[in-house]
Structure 1
Amino acid sequence: MTGSTSLFDLEGRLALVTGSSRGLGNALARGLARHGVRVILHGRDQAQLDGEAQAISDETGVEVHTTSFDVTDSESVRTALDDLLERVGVPDILVNNAGLQRRAPFNEYDPADWDTVLASNLSSVFYVSRSLTPAMSERGSGKVVNLGSVQSKLARQTIAPYSASKGGVAMLTQGMAADLARFNIQVNCISPGYFKTDMNTALWQDPAFNDWVEARTPAQRWGSLDELLGTLIYLCSDASAFVSGQNIFVDGGMTSVV
């Protein structure tokens, strides 16, 4: 293998991807597995996790594990990840993907939904990372990739709490990078633009919204989930050994134009 290729070699590494029983997280986990990464799928439905684990293992031949816990409950996270560390070992890669969306005009937004969105999208990143990075620090290496959004930078009507949570993820990424770099742990953020995911089904099936996305995005289309994998592989590999605290927008140019 040539030196330039080996920089991106992930063969045999271990990655936990939260929220990976379906949707975007599942696509990211499957993409890593196709590059030889042993993956740990996470979700709340154990039967679904088991089915996805078998499907990925059958497709790629890699070792696939599962773990189930509530990312918004710090004690549940700690207990489950203590078990995971004992059972599987210390992940080389953590991808904080779990999250959700609740839409409503700001003046009508339910405070309970605010709490849910912030807990699911932002607090979860802290809880999961705080439970895993001590073991990474002790080992002296690790990669953490947090999932932000174009809403880490841009606002839109009816999703103010989501924007706040994803802006928080971007800044938490920088704070984690500042504290963890001395342990050879790189922490970065991928912020997708508009992709056809389960969470966005109602949007991409709405002709008016679809037209707006295509007009607003310089690439004039929605993204394909596979188009996130190159950035993810880069940030999980040795090629990004001196890259930390960055928020990379994979958005077809949306955040670069007015």
Structure 2
Amino acid sequence: MSLNTFNLDGRVALITGGCQGLGLVFAKALAEAGASVAVTSRDEAKASEGARQIREETGQQAIGLAVDVTDVEQVQRMAAETVQSLGRIDILVNNAGINVRKPILEYDEASWDLVQSTNLKAPFLCAKAVVPFMIKQAYGRIINLSSMLGTIALPERSAYCSSKGGLIQLTKVMALEWAEHHITANAICPGPFATELNKVVIDNQVANQFFLNHLAIKRWGNPNELTGLLIYLASEASSYMTGSSIVIDGGWTAQ
């Protein structure tokens, strides 16, 4: 296989939550592989800054869009503006996510709904908005960011585990429904990575040690260690792979 199959020249990628943390790392990686990118944030200033960083660091075309990915009208506008500005959408990375940690008996309905809307409803809405464009061009790559906690559980993560497990199942349905249009759908399931979302755990000595004890590699992951899989799933190299969920977790779920 030629390494050219990993090349994304001429492709356009849309990354939700692509202006910080894993999302920004993903957006830069896709741009470095040759893609033009659109990144989103609820905050317009963050969206503009994320796009500016990508343009300056990679030399690729990048736009930032202020979007609440749980709002159907904003999501539809996001897809239309991306196509208007960049010409097409080849790759959708549903990265935006949130976690609220509470015991089930203390979990309020508003927190539950927020996690489910952001982690599960939003990928559903974004795919619905983007896939019609992919169908017209008979090509697409959907990459959903699930979690190892979509396959196993931890205390105080009821909403998060439920949403990420649901996203794995949604990915499979997407794969089955859209395969005939040459659109693939796969999920990346990260384990413990050193991101802003996990800072509350990393900064807690007891919780951090609990995590380290369960990691065969005995350290948190670096976000850049996810980009190889991301580029594979976004490229021609993964053309026969769809409906899969791949765990990258330092060996946690191997035990």
Task: Tell me the TM-score normalised to structure 2 length.
Answer: 0.97
Distance 2:28 2:246 in 1: 21
Q: Secondary structure at the match of 1:50?
A: helix
- 1:173 is aligned to 171
Runs of 4 or more consecutive aligned structure 1 residues displaced over 6 Å after TM superposition: none
Provide Cα deviations, 1:132-178, integer angstroms capped at 9, x if missing partner.
00110111001000000011011111110110000000000000000
Q: What amino acid maps onto 2:152 in structure 1? A: L
Distance 1:93 1:34 in 2: 14
Q: Which of 114, 119, 128 is equivalent to 1:116?
A: 114
- 1:85 is aligned to 83
Deviation at 1:63, TM superposition (A): 0.6
- 1:53 is aligned to 51
- 1:102 is aligned to 100
Q: Which runs of 5+ in 2 are unaligned?
A: none
1:134 aligns with 2:126: no
Distance 1:222 1:82 in 2: 38
Provide Cα deviations, 1:192-217, integer angstroms capped at 9, x if missing partner.
00001011111111111221111101
Q: How does 1:8-19 map to 2 (within 5 A)?
A: 8-19=6-17
Deviation at 1:229, TM superposition (A): 0.3
Q: How does 1:140-219 map to 2 (within 5 A)?
A: 140-219=138-217
Q: What amino acid maps onto 2:71 in structure 1? A: D
Cα RMSD between the aligned structures? 1.1
- 2:241 is aligned to 243
Distance 1:104 1:220 in 2: 26
Q: Secondary structure at the match of 1:95?
A: strand
Indicate if the aligned counterparts of 2:50 and 2:64 stay in contact, CA closer than 8 A: no
Deviation at 1:80, TM superposition (A): 2.9
- 1:226 is aligned to 224
Q: What amino acid maps onto 2:241 in structure 1? A: V
Deviation at 1:26, TM superposition (A): 0.8
Distance 2:182 2:222 in 1: 32
Deviation at 1:179, TM superposition (A): 0.2
Distance 2:234 2:126 in 1: 17
Q: What amino acid maps onto 2:161 in structure 1? A: S
Distance 1:148 1:228 in 2: 13
Distance 1:83 1:55 in 2: 20
Indicate if the aligned counterparts of 2:144 and 2:187 stay in contact, CA closer than 8 A: yes
Distance 2:214 2:101 in 1: 20
Task: Tell me the TM-score normalised to structure 1 length.
Answer: 0.96
Q: Secondary structure at the match of 1:188?
A: strand
* Percentage identity across paired residues of the two chains: 38
Q: What amino acid maps onto 1:109 in structure 2? A: Y
